[in-house]
Amino acid sequence: MKTPLVGRMTSFANAHPDIENVEVEYKQTWFVYVQKPGESDIKKLTGVHDIQPIIPCCNEKCHDGGLNIEEIISIMADSKKAELVDQTRQCMGHEGRNAYDSCPNHFKYSIRITYKKDKKS
């Protein structure tokens, strides 16, 4: 399932006009199983227009999975938090038909936010 939609990415920037720049680094623990040769398992997103609300899970058996990065950034932005380093969160999806069979994939992530200065100097 592909999540990125231009309209939603634009709405992220609109929803967070105080954010100047965002840098996200993340790694999926399931990634080792699907990694292509020469491909780094650490992914980077830079800039508000690069942020998709949900980072898709790379486990093919996973349903409704991923990491809700927009939610995490929104919570950070509410308290003007600038940095979150080496956080881990389990994928919110599930494998197969059983909703209780949680996806074993985990996301390790670091987020850095630069806020716009609200005063003109």
Could you say which of 51, 54, 67, 103 contacts Zn ion (CB under 5 A)?
Answer: 103
Q: Is 53 in the site for Zn ion (CB under 5 A)?
A: no
Beta-carbon contacts of residue 118 (< 8 Å; ≥ 6 apart): 18
What DSSP designation does 25 have?
E
Q: Is 62 in the site for Zn ion (CB under 5 A)?
A: yes
Helix count (H) and strand count (E) of the chain?
A: 2, 8
Pick the closer one to Zn ion by CB: 69 or 91: 91
**Do residues 111 and 51 make contact, with C-beta atoms less than 8 angstroms apart?**
no
Contact letters (x/-) for Zn ion, 5-44, by CB under 5 A? ----------------------------------------
Specify the stretch interacting with Zn ion by CB under 5 A; choose among 5-13, 35-43, 95-103, 109-117. 95-103
**In the numeric block, which tokens belong to residue 31?**
């990634």
